[in-house]
C-alpha cells in the first residue's frame, strides 16, 4: 500500500451517536488545485493532442449509406447471395470425399465483377501451404500429447484435387474456366463482367482425403470401437465474401481465423455406404429413402416429446434393423435456405436421439438431433439434446428465436466446432463409460456454445476470419447465461464471464488488443477471443449499462444484423445507441488496448464535519477516500464501507468520475458513522489486477505505554 495516509479522528464520538441514514454528497467545496497539464492516463503530453480516455473514437470508420451512425445496415446496404447444388460421395475405403458442385453467384454489389474468389480451406493441408511453412521448429522435447497431435507425415498430400472448373451460361452450355490459385484461395475468371443484379454459374469438381489430424482440425475422421466417424466441414470450394468494407475478403486460411461466407440456399446430395447415418445442415428431404418406417415413426414421436427419443437405439447400431432393406450406397438429400455454409457427419456407429422444440405451444417445430457412437454413452444421451434445448431458450430470450428448422449435435474427434444447424462436440466418457460430473458440465457448456454459434456468427454473420471476438466473444457471453440457466449451481471457476476469472490473463505481457485480426493473436487465443470480450460484456451488462438497457440494445443489434454482415463499429454503435450511453472509454480501453485496471485505495480520511462546514446538519463526519488508477483503464469505482457499528454500505460510482482526472479521484461524503474498513471493487467485477491495494482498515489503537 504505497503512500498510504491514515488519518482517523474523532473515533471516540462513535458510540454516542444514533445512526440516522447516512447523507452522502459529492464534495462541493473548493475544487482541488488544477494539476499541471491534463491528468490523462497513458498520455504522451508532448503531443498536444486530445488523449483523454473519454474522447470520441477516431478508430471507427465514418458512417455511410451502407452502415449508419447508430450501427445498423444503411439504406443502401447490400450483400451477395451464393447458392450451391452439390453432389458428393464418401468413399470409406480411401476416406475420400468426392464432389461436384454448381455455384450460382448473385451479384448485388453496385459494381461489375470480372471474377469470383473461392475459399479452398482444405488446401491448408497442402505440404507447402503458408500455415505449413509458418510452422515453427519443434522444441527439443515434445510432450506425449504434442507427439499424439503431430501432423501425420505418412498421410498422402492433403488438400484438394480439383478436376474441373467450368463456367455455365444461361442455356446450360459449359466452357472451361480460367482459374488461378493463391494459397488457400482460387480466382475463377468470368466470361464477361457480371453486372449488378446478374448471376453467374460456376461448376467445380474436386476431391480430398478427410484427414485424421489436419491443420484445419475441423473436418476430420476418427476410428472408435464401432468404426469410423467422419466430420466433414470446410469441405467444398466456397465463395469468398465480397462486401462494402473489404471488397473481396482475401484473408488466407491459416487455421485460427475461422471463415466468413455469403448466405445462400443449398441442395446437397450425400452418397454414403448403406449402413451409415448422416446428419447435416438443413432438412432431410428424402427420409422415405434413407430411414426405416420405424425410424420415421419414432421421429414423429420425438417431435411431440419433451424428453429425447431414440431414433437409433444403442442395441440397434450396425444391425439390419437400423437401415432400410438392401445394401447399395444410399443418397441422403438435404436442403437448407439462407445459410452461410454447409457441413455434415456420417458414420455407421451412430446412436441417434431427437426431440422437438417450440417457442410457444403449437408454434413452429424446431427439430433437435444428437448423434454419437456408443463410446459417448451414457453421457451424450443424458446431456446433448437437453443442452440444445437450453440454447434455444437462452439465446432466444437474449437475441432472437432460432429461425432454422433443426439443430444437430454430433460427437466425434472435433472438440467443439460450429456450422449452420450442426455442431461437433467432443466430450467423451472413459472407455468403461464412467465420467466425472464435471464432464457433464463440459459437454453441456460446449454444446450450448457450439449450438449457440448459430446465432453468432452463423446468422449474425460477422467476419470471423478477422474478428474472433465478434463471434467467440459474443457467443461466450451468451454461453455464460445459457450455462447459468441450465444449472444455477454451475461450478464458477470454469466460466468465461466473471471478472475475477480474467485477472491472471490481464497481467500477462503477451496480450494483444481484442481489435487484432484472428491470425495475429499469437498467444492466449482463448482468453483473448473468448474470455476477455465475454467478461467485458458481462461487466457492461451487469454494472455499466444495467441489464435492461444492455439487453434491449443487444437484442436490437442481433435482430438488425440477422442474415447480414456486421463490422465491429456496428456492434459498438448499436450498443451505444440502444443503451443511450457512448462509453467511449470502455470500447477504447477494453477492445483497442491491453491496459489493465488497478484501482489503489491510497488514503481514507475522516474529518469532523463541524470543522468543515460549521455544523453537523449533514452528518458528524466527512469521509474522504482517495483512489489512484495505477493501470491504464478507467473503470467504475465501487466501495464497500464497513462502519464502526458493524453495518455495511456499498457505494457505486460511474466511470465518469475520471473525466477530469484519470489518475486519481477523491470521493467525499458526510456520515454519522465512523469508518472501520473500506474495500475497492468488493465483488471483483472490474478485473483489478492488484487487489493488495484495494483494502483499508482502521488501525488498532496504540497500546498505552
Ligand atoms: Zn466458439
Look at residue 4 and tell me whether its pLDDT is greater than 80: no
The pTM score is 0.91
Q: What's the gap in Å between 423 CA and the centre of ligand 1? A: 10
Q: What's the gap in Å between 448 CA and the centre of ligand 1? A: 10
Q: Over the chain, what is the mean pLDDT?
A: 91
Q: What's the gap in Å between 614 CA and the centre of ligand 1? A: 62
Q: What's the gap in Å between 516 CA and the centre of ligand 1? A: 17
Contacts of 249 (CB under 8 A, 6+ apart): 240, 241, 242, 243, 260, 463, 465, 466
133-161 burial, b at 16+ Cβ within 10 Å, e below that, comes to eeeeeeeeeeeeeeeeeeeeeeeeebbbe
| Residues facing 179 on adjacent strands | 188
Neighbours of ion ligand 1 (CB under 5 A): 472
Q: Name the band, by pLDDT with cuts 50, 70 and 90, for residue 34.
A: low
Asked whether the beta carbons of 552 and 577 are under 8 A apart, the reply is no
Per-residue pLDDT, averaged over 281-301, amounts to 98
pLDDT at 390: 97
Look at residue 398 and tell me whether its pLDDT is greater than 80: yes
Per-residue pLDDT, averaged over 606-635, amounts to 96
**Sign of the alpha-carbon torsion through 268, 271, 272, 276:** positive
Q: What's the gap in Å between 131 CA and the centre of ligand 1? A: 21
Tell me the pairing of strands 621-629 and 81-91. Answer: unpaired
Q: What's the gap in Å between 469 CA and the centre of ligand 1? A: 10
Q: What's the gap in Å between 364 CA and the centre of ligand 1? A: 27
From 231, 213, 225, select the one nearest 349 (Cα to Cα): 225
Encode pLDDT of 187-241 as tens digits: 999 999 999 999 999 999 999 999 887 676 688 999 999 999 999 999 999 999 9
Q: Name the band, by pLDDT with cuts 50, 70 and 90, for residue 151.
A: low
Q: What's the gap in Å between 477 CA and the centre of ligand 1? A: 11
Q: What's the gap in Å between 456 CA and the centre of ligand 1? A: 9
Look up residue 607 and give its DSSP letter.
E
Q: How far is C-alpha 637 from the geometric centre of its chain's CA atoms?
A: 28
Q: What's the gap in Å between 37 CA and the centre of ligand 1? A: 45
How far is 685 from 640, CA to CA, in rounded Å? 13
Q: Name the band, by pLDDT with cuts 50, 70 and 90, for residue 127.
A: confident
Asked whether the beta carbons of 420 and 454 are under 8 A apart, the reply is yes
Q: What's the gap in Å between 463 CA and the centre of ligand 1? A: 14
E strands of 479-620, at which residues?
Answer: 599-608
Q: What's the gap in Å between 77 CA and the centre of ligand 1? A: 27
How far is 86 from 113, CA to CA, in rounded Å? 24
Give the other-Cβ count within 10 Å of 49's Cβ: 10
Q: What's the gap in Å between 453 CA and the centre of ligand 1? A: 6
Look at residue 516 and tell me whether its pLDDT is greater than 60: yes
From 423, 397, 523, 525, select the one nearest 473 (Cα to Cα): 525
SS3 of 218-287: the string is CCCEEEECCEEEEEECCCCCEEECEECCCEECCCCCCCCCCCCECEEEEEEEEEECCCCEEEECCEECCH
How far is 571 from 557, CA to CA, in rounded Å? 7
Q: What's the gap in Å between 29 CA and the centre of ligand 1? A: 52
DSSP 2-70: TT-EEE---GGGGGG---PPPP-----SSPPPPPSS---TT--GGG-S---TTS--TTSPPP-SSB-TT
pLDDT at 21: 37
Q: What's the gap in Å between 260 CA and the centre of ligand 1? A: 14
Residue percentage of the chain with pLDDT more than 90? 81
Look up residue 452 and give its DSSP letter.
H
From 253, 120, 240, select the one nearest 181 (Cα to Cα): 120
End-to-end CA distance of the chain: 28
Q: Name the band, by pLDDT with cuts 50, 70 and 90, for residue 152.
A: low
Q: What's the gap in Å between 658 CA and the centre of ligand 1? A: 35
Q: What's the gap in Å between 660 CA and the centre of ligand 1? A: 40
Q: What's the gap in Å between 554 CA and the centre of ligand 1? A: 19
pLDDT at 321: 93
588-625 burial, b at 16+ Cβ within 10 Å, e below that, comes to bbbbebbbbbbbbbbbbbbbebeeebeeeebbbbbbeb
Computed on alpha carbons and rounded to an integer, the radius of gyration of the chain in Å comes to 30
Asked whether the beta carbons of 122 and 303 are under 8 A apart, the reply is no
Q: Name the band, by pLDDT with cuts 50, 70 and 90, for residue 492.
A: low
Q: What's the gap in Å between 414 CA and the centre of ligand 1? A: 12
Q: What's the gap in Å between 619 CA and the centre of ligand 1? A: 54
Q: What's the gap in Å between 446 CA and the centre of ligand 1? A: 8
Residue 326, exposed/middle/buried by CB under 10 A (0-12, 13-18, 19+)?
exposed
Q: What's the gap in Å between 475 CA and the centre of ligand 1? A: 7
How far is 101 from 99, CA to CA, in rounded Å? 6
Q: How far is C-alpha 369 from the geometric centre of its chain's CA atoms?
A: 23
Q: What's the gap in Å between 212 CA and the centre of ligand 1? A: 21
Asked whether the beta carbons of 590 and 434 are under 8 A apart, the reply is no
Q: What's the gap in Å between 526 CA and the centre of ligand 1? A: 9
DSSP 278-345: EEESSEES-HHHHS-HHHHHHHHHHHT-SS-EEEE-GGGTTSGGGS-S--S-EEEEEEEEEES---EE
Q: What's the gap in Å between 472 CA and the centre of ligand 1? A: 5
Q: What's the gap in Å between 294 CA and the centre of ligand 1? A: 36
Q: What's the gap in Å between 452 CA and the centre of ligand 1? A: 8
Q: What's the gap in Å between 593 CA and the centre of ligand 1? A: 23
Q: What's the gap in Å between 420 CA and the centre of ligand 1? A: 13
Q: What's the gap in Å between 534 CA and the centre of ligand 1? A: 12
Look up residue 611 and give its DSSP letter.
H
Q: What's the gap in Å between 557 CA and the centre of ligand 1? A: 19
pLDDT at 3: 34
Helix (H/G/I), strand (E/B), else coil: 193: strand
Tell me the pairing of strands 599-608 and 277-280. Answer: unpaired
Asked whether the beta carbons of 533 and 476 are under 8 A apart, the reply is yes
Q: What's the gap in Å between 449 CA and the centre of ligand 1? A: 6
How far is 156 from 96, CA to CA, in rounded Å? 11
Q: How far is C-alpha 312 from the geometric centre of its chain's CA atoms?
A: 33
Q: What's the gap in Å between 457 CA and the centre of ligand 1? A: 9
Q: What's the gap in Å between 479 CA and the centre of ligand 1? A: 10
Encode pLDDT of 437-482 as tens digits: 889 999 999 999 999 999 999 999 999 999 999 999 999 999 999 9
**Sign of the alpha-carbon torsion through 675, 677, 683, 685:** positive
Q: What's the gap in Å between 462 CA and the centre of ligand 1? A: 13
Q: What's the gap in Å between 450 CA and the centre of ligand 1? A: 6
In terms of average pLDDT, the best of 110-124, 483-497, 519-533 is 110-124
Distances (CA, A) of 101 to 116, 205, 236, 661: 15, 6, 8, 62
- Which strand (E) or helix (H) includes residue 654? none
Strand arrangement of the beta sheet that strand 330-339 belongs to: 174-176, 161-168, 198-209, 96-107, 81-91, 264-272, 330-339, 283-284
Q: What's the gap in Å between 279 CA and the centre of ligand 1? A: 20
Q: What's the gap in Å between 601 CA and the centre of ligand 1? A: 38
| Residues facing 206 on adjacent strands | 99, 162
E strands of 609-689, at which residues?
Answer: 621-629, 637-643, 648-653, 664-671, 675-680
Look at residue 6 and tell me whether its pLDDT is greater than 80: no
- Which strand (E) or helix (H) includes residue 166? strand 161-168
Amino acid at each position: 500500500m504505497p503512500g498510504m495516509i491514515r488519518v482517523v479522528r474523532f473515533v471516540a464520538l462513535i458510540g454516542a451517536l444514533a445512526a440516522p441514514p447516512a447523507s452522502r454528497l459529492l464534495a462541493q467545496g473548493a475544487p482541488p488545485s488544477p494539476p499541471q497539464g491534463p491528468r490523462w492516463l497513458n498520455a504522451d503530453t508532448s503531443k498536444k493532442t486530445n488523449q483523454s480516455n473519454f474522447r470520441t473514437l477516431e478508430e471507427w470508420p465514418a458512417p455511410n449509406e451502407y452502415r449508419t451512425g447508430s450501427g445498423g445496415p444503411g439504406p443502401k446496404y447490400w450483400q451477395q447471395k451464393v447458392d450451391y447444388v452439390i453432389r458428393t460421395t464418401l468413399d470409406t475405403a480411401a476416406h475420400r470425399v468426392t464432389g461436384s458442385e454448381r455455384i450460382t453467384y448473385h451479384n448485388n454489389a453496385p459494381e461489375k465483377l470480372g471474377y469470383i474468389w473461392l475459399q479452398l480451406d482444405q488446401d491448408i493441408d497442402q505440404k507447402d501451404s503458408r500455415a505449413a511453412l509458418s510452422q515453427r521448429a519443434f522444441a527439443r522435447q515434445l510432450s506425449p500429447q504434442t507427439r499424439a497431435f503431430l501432423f501425420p507425415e505418412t498421410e498422402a498430400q492433403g488438400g484438394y484435387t480439383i478436376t474441373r472448373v467450368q463456367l455455365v451460361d444461361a442455356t446450360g452450355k459449359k466452357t472451361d474456366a480460367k482459374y488461378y490459385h493463391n494459397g488457400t484461395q482460387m480466382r475463377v475468371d468470368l466470361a464477361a463482367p457480371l453486372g449488378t443484379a446478374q448471376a453467374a454459374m460456376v461448376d467445380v469438381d474436386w476431391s480430398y482425403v478427410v484427414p485424421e489430424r489436419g491443420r484445419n482440425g475441423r473436418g476430420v475422421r476418427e476410428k472408435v470401437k464401432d468404426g469410423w466417424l467422419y466430420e466433414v466441414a470446410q469441405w467444398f470450394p466456397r465463395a469468398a465474401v465480397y462486401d462494402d468494407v473489404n471488397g473481396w475478403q482475401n484473408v488466407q486460411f491459416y487455421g485460427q481465423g475461422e471463415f466468413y461466407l455469403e448466405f445462400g440456399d443449398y441442395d446437397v446430395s450425400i452418397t454414403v455406404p448403406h449402413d451409415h447415418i448422416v446428419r447435416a445442415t438443413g432438412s432431410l428431404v428424402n427420409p422415405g429413402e434413407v430411414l426405416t418406417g420405424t425410424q420415421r415413426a419414432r421421429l414423429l414421436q420425438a417431435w411431440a416429446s419433451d424428453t429425447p427419443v431414440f431414433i437409433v437405439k444403442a442395441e440397434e447400431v450396425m444391425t439390419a434393423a437400423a437401415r432400410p432393406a438392401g445394401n447399395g450406397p444410399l443418397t441422403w438429400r438435404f436442403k437448407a435456405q439462407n445459410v452461410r455454409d454447409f457441413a455434415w457427419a456420417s458414420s455407421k456407429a451412430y446412436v441417434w436421439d431427437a426431440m422437438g422444440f417450440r417457442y410457444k405451444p403449437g408454434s413452429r417445430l424446431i427439430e433437435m438431433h444428437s448423434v454419437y457412437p456408443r463410446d459417448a454413452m451414457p453421457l451424450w444421451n443424458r446431456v446433448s439434446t437437453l443442452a440444445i434445448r437450453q440454447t434455444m431458450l437462452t439465446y432466444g430470450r437474449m437475441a432472437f428465436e432460432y429461425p432454422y428448422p433443426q439443430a444437430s449435435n454430433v460427437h466425434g474427434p472435433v472438440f467443439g466446432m460450429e456450422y449452420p444447424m450442426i455442431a461437433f462436440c467432443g466430450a467423451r466418457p472413459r472407455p468403461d463409460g464412467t465420467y466425472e460430473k464435471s464432464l457433464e458440465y463440459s459437454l453441456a457448456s460446449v454444446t450450448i456454445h457450439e449450438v449457440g454459434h448459430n446465432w453468432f456468427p452463423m446468422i449474425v454473420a460477422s467476419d470471423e476470419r478477422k474478428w474472433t471476438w465478434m463471434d467467440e466473444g459474443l457467443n461466450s457471453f451468451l454461453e455464460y447465461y445459457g450455462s447459468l440457466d441450465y444449472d444455477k449451481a454451475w461450478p464458477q471457476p470454469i466460466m468465461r464471464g466473471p471478472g475475477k476469472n480474467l485477472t491472471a490473463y490481464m497481467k500477462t505481457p503477451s496480450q494483444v488488443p481484442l481489435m487484432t485480426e484472428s491470425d495475429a493473436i499469437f498467444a492466449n487465443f482463448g482468453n483473448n477471443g473468448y474470455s476477455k470480450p465475454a467478461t467485458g460484456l458481462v461487466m457492461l451488462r451487469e454494472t455499466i449499462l444495467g441489464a435492461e438497457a444492455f439487453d434491449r440494445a443487444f437484442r436490437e443489434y442481433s435482430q438488425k444484423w440477422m442474415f447480414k454482415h456486421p463490422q465491429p463499429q456496428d456492434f459498438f454503435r448499436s450498443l451505444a445507441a440502444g443503451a443511450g450511453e457512448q462509453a467511449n472509454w470502455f470500447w477504447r480501453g477494453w477492445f483497442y488496448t491491453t491496459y489493465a485496471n488497478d484501482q489503489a485505495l491510497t488514503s481514507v480520511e475522516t474529518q469532523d464535519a463541524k470543522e468543515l462546514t460549521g455544523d453537523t446538519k449533514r452528518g458528524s463526519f466527512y469521509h474522504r477516500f482517495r483512489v489512484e488508477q495505477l493501470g491504464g483503464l478507467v473503470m467504475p469505482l465501487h466501495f464497500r464501507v464497513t462502519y464502526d457499528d458493524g453495518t455495511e454500505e456499498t457505494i457505486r460510482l460511474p466511470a465518469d468520475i475520471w473525466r477530469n482526472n484519470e489518475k486519481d479521484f477523491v470521493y467525499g461524503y458526510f456520515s454519522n458513522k465512523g469508518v472501520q474498513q473500506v474495500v475497492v471493487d468488493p465483488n471483483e467485477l472490474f478485473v483489478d489486477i492488484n487487489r493488495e491495494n484495494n483494502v483499508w482498515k482502521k488501525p488498532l489503537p496504540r497500546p498505552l505505554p
